[in-house]
Amino acid sequence: MKYGIDIPRTVEEAHKMDEKNGNTLWGDAINKELSNVMVAFQLVEDRDTIPVGSKLIPYHIIFDVKN
């Protein structure tokens, strides 16, 4: 919690919070952030094979609120 706002630790938790609150604020923030970085990366699922010549770079999302 920061500034009286619950902060999720995972994407799944963020979506559950949106559903509970009846809004899409965390989901919108996730989509905005991913749209800014996706120009440089291609997401693959765990079951997908990595294209030849590519390197797997694991990532995670850190949630926070700005004042």
Query: Is this prediction's pTM over 0.85?
Result: no
Which pLDDT score, from 0 to 100, does residue 63 have? 93
Q: What's the pLDDT tens digit per position in 1-58?
A: 888 888 999 999 999 999 999 999 999 999 998 888 888 877 777 788 888 888 878 8
Q: Which domain holds residue 24?
A: 1-67
Cβ count within 10 A of residue 26: 21
Which residue type is seen at 14?
A
Tokens of 32: 């905005």
Count of the separate structural domains present in the chain: 1
Q: What gap in Å lies between CA 44 and CA 21, rounded to an integer?
A: 30
